């Protein structure tokens, strides 16, 4: 399995997609990668010290200093604590943060190594991983119960009623797709207008994980790439970015990012980039935007450009079960309109919006 396959598979394993059962999605990603290797071994896309500022809509908003957030602080943006309805309304924003220091007391004392953030339509999330790439926990936020339900796997008939800090909740268990490992899926409304789900090894840990969530912080979902234009009628719908925890000054912070655009024809296109380059299986058959590229036709098809500046780039269909909808001409268009930044060490220097 190539690096880009591993990273996308791990990302899919740790998070759910709308109207798709998580375990099924993860297994499909792994299975698809296996078939691709067996055929052509082609790559797939399987990857408060706070300031009190003026009120926002009559509410006083706490904004963190830039050094206090995982990603660049979104100054002037009301966080989830002040405006829950803002969650999932702009892929350029994340309306919460997590205090990673609290994770040292969770999951057997494993320290977080990196975080994978997602801002999508109707929900936002973060997955926290250990140094061995194991999932420590994942947190999902949505502005309504229906939005949260659409974003996640369906609860099973075995889900039970429980409570979290005195509020009613549902607790379920599920297989996250890693060697039969069972995790708890805990869902509730921790405060009015904010609906949450936490995935963790057990219910007690899940509740403690949410104690580390900072609803009083807003961040920007930044990536080291930007589309210089959108196709006619297209919309930017998702931003995903993974960064390391506890960085050394000047070291690479970034691990991978994904931008999703929904075209006017309904096809959702993902531009997936990773810091690592693995060209052992690369078989260039064309030149795109002046760079050697491969049009992958086995498995999930798309354009692979492993030497797109400092990143390895794959442009393909966003939905694993509709992998043959994207045309070569469409994929090439995205590569030709993409700008990638050379500096992978400083998220504050990346564009505040991936398409604007």
Residue ranges and CATH numbers for the domains of the chain are 50-219 (no CATH), 222-349 (3.40.1000)
Read off φ and ψ for residue 322, nearest 5 degrees: -130, 45
Looking at 68-77, 112-121, 157-166, 320-329, which range is the least confident one? 320-329
Asked if 253 and 344 touch (Cβ cutoff 8 Å), the reply is yes
The pLDDT of residue 188 is 98
159, containing H or E segment? none
Ranked by mean pLDDT, the top range of 10-14, 55-59, 97-101, 138-142 is 138-142
The per-residue pLDDT for 34 is: 36
Q: How far apart are CA 195 and CA 149, in angstroms?
A: 10
67: number of Cβ within 10 Å:
7
- Residues 6+ away with beta carbon under 8 Å from 311: 224, 225, 273, 274, 275, 340, 344
Task: Give the DSSP letter string of 22-38.
Answer: HHHHHHHHHHHHHHHHH
Rg (CA), the chain: 20
With a cut of 50, say whether residue 23 has pLDDT above it.
Answer: no
pLDDT classification of 13: cutoffs 50, 70, 90? very low
Q: Write the pLDDT tens digit of every residue in 268-291.
A: 999 999 987 778 788 999 999 999
Question: What percent of the chain lies above the pLDDT cut of 70?
Answer: 76
Residue 160 has pLDDT above 80, yes or no: yes
Q: What is the mean pLDDT of residues 153-158?
A: 95
CA distance 121 to 352: 18
pLDDT at 16: 39
- Rounded distance between C-alpha atoms, residue 310 and residue 314, angstroms: 13
Kindly give, in sequence order, each residue whose CB lies less than 8 Å from that of residue 137, ignoring residues fewer than 6 positions away. Answer: 103, 106, 107, 127, 128, 198, 199, 200, 205, 206, 209
Who's near 169: CB < 8 A, 6+ residues apart?
Answer: 161, 162, 163, 186, 187, 188
Which of 141-155, 246-260, 307-321 has maximum average pLDDT?
Answer: 141-155
Task: Quote the pLDDT of residue 33.
Answer: 35
The rounded distance, in Å, linking the Cα atoms of 293 and 289 is 9
pLDDT, average across residues 193-212: 94
């Amino acid at each position: 399995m190539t690096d880009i396959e591993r990273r996308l598979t791990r990302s899919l394993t740790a998070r759910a997609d709308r109207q798709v059962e998580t375990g099924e999605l993860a297994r499909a990603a792994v299975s698809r990668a296996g078939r691709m290797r067996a055929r052509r071994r082609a790559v797939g896309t399987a990857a408060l010290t706070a300031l009190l500022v003026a009120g926002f809509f009559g509410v006083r908003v706490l904004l963190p200093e830039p050094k206090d957030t995982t990603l660049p602080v979104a100054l002037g943006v009301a966080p989830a604590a002040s405006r829950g309805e803002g969650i999932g309304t702009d892929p350029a924003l994340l309306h919460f943060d997590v205090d990673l220091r609290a994770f040292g007391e969770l999951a057997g004392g494993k320290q977080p190594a990196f975080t994978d953030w997602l801002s999508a339509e109707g929900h936002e999330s973060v997955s926290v991983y250990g140094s061995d790439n194991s999932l420590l926990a994942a947190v999902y936020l949505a502005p309504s119960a229906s939005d949260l339900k659409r974003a996640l796997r369906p609860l099973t008939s075995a889900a039970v009623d429980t409570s979290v800090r005195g509020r009613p909740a549902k607790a379920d268990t599920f297989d996250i797709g890693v060697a039969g490992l069972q995790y708890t899926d805990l869902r509730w409304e921790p405060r009015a207008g904010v609906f949450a789900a936490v995935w963790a090894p057990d219910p007690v840990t899940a509740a403690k994980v949410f104690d580390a969530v900072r609803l009083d912080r807003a961040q920007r979902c930044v990536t080291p790439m930007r589309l210089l234009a959108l196709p006619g009628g297209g919309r930017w719908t998702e931003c995903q970015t993974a960064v390391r925890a506890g960085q050394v000054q000047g070291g690479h912070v970034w691990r991978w990012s994904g931008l999703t655009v929904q075209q006017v024809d309904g096809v959702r296109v993902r531009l997936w980039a990773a810091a690592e380059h693995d060209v052992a299986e690369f078989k260039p058959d064309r030149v795109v935007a002046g760079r050697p590229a491969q049009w992958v036709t086995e498995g999930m098809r798309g354009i692979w450009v492993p030497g797109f500046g400092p990143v390895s780039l794959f442009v393909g269909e966003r939905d694993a079960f509709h992998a043959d909808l994207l045309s070569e001409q469409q994929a090439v268009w995205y590569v030709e309109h993409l700008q990638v930044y050379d500096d992978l060490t400083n998220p504050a220097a990346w564009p505040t919006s991936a398409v604007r």
